[in-house]
């Protein structure tokens, strides 16, 4: 059995080759779009657009279910009255 002395791993050619192969990995590139680290900034005076639950049309059946109720005729009628009376505010209370 030969007692061969090996250099430390960090001094090996394999490690040197791995260090030289420092290229971007496509899966980690965000494309420069807005994200947590690169937010979009508004120009002075520009208003933000917030998407809310009321940005889409709602049926009374959908509102009744969103409120945690079964879509029975009575619950659907109450939701219809709520939509007629309060409009988008009825949706915002349930689905902000």
Contact between 14 and 57 under an 8 Å Cβ cutoff? The reply is no
Q: How far apart are CA 77 and CA 96, in angstroms?
A: 22
> Domain extents for the chain?
11-39+51-94
CA geometry: angle 89, 91, 95, nearest 5 deg: 125
**Is the model's pLDDT at 5 over the cut of 70?**
yes
**Per-residue pLDDT reduced to its tens digit, 31-44:** 666 667 777 788 88
**Is the model's pLDDT at 26 over the cut of 60?**
no
**Per-residue pLDDT reduced to its tens digit, 45-86:** 888 777 777 778 889 999 999 999 999 999 999 999 999 999
Q: Is the pTM of this model over 0.75?
A: no
* Higher pLDDT pick, 28 / 76: 76
Contact between 40 and 34 under an 8 Å Cβ cutoff? The reply is yes
């Amino acid at each position: 059995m030969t007692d061969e002395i090996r250099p430390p791993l960090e001094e090996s050619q394999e490690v040197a080759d791995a260090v030289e192969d420092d290229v971007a990995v496509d899966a980690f590139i965000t494309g420069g779009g807005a994200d947590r680290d690169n937010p979009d900034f508004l120009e002075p005076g520009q208003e933000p657009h917030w998407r809310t639950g009321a940005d889409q049309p709602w049926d009374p059946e959908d509102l009744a279910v969103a409120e945690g109720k079964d879509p029975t005729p009575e619950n659907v009628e109450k939701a219809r009255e709520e939509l007629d009376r309060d409009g988008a505010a009825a949706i915002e209370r349930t689905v902000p």
